[in-house]
Structure 1
Amino acid sequence: MSRLRITLTHWPRRALALADTPRPNCPDCDGEGFTAYGYGDDKPEWGPCHCWDPTRVRLLLPLPSRNSPADYSDEPPF
């Protein structure tokens, strides 16, 4: 079963990308994609779960840059 979804990326420029998602029924992360690990300290470290690869992203379509409202004119085009 495919766990891919379309996402909006902002680096290096705005684009639509196909990204991997965590396995929804994973017993380690419960579908969140991250697991806590630590060495007995108060604040655990968080890392990606084995069911998900956050670097698995494919660029689909680059999007044009947005213009600010100050770039538009109030005058008619003709």
Structure 2
Amino acid sequence: MDIRLGRWQVEYHQRAIHITREPQANPKCPDCQGKGGHGYITEGGDGDWDYCHCFDFIAWRLPLWRRSARQLADRTPF
């Protein structure tokens, strides 16, 4: 189950809740000019991306308690 609230995304999994914020670069960064990094072409013709130091990525993982077999058996599948 996923919920999106503005720049935040909340994902509910069986054993944890993951909360992430959409990455954002500093628009006034002199190194990347607000792009968040630098892209370049490698020898094989593929592109690659190096993230800038100003690139901001936030993520949390909140573990949930283990459920007993009885709790799982009481749940209906629908």
- Shared fold by TM > 0.5? no
TM-score (norm 1): 0.39
Q: Greater share of strand residues, 1 or 2? A: 2
TM-score by length of 2: 0.39
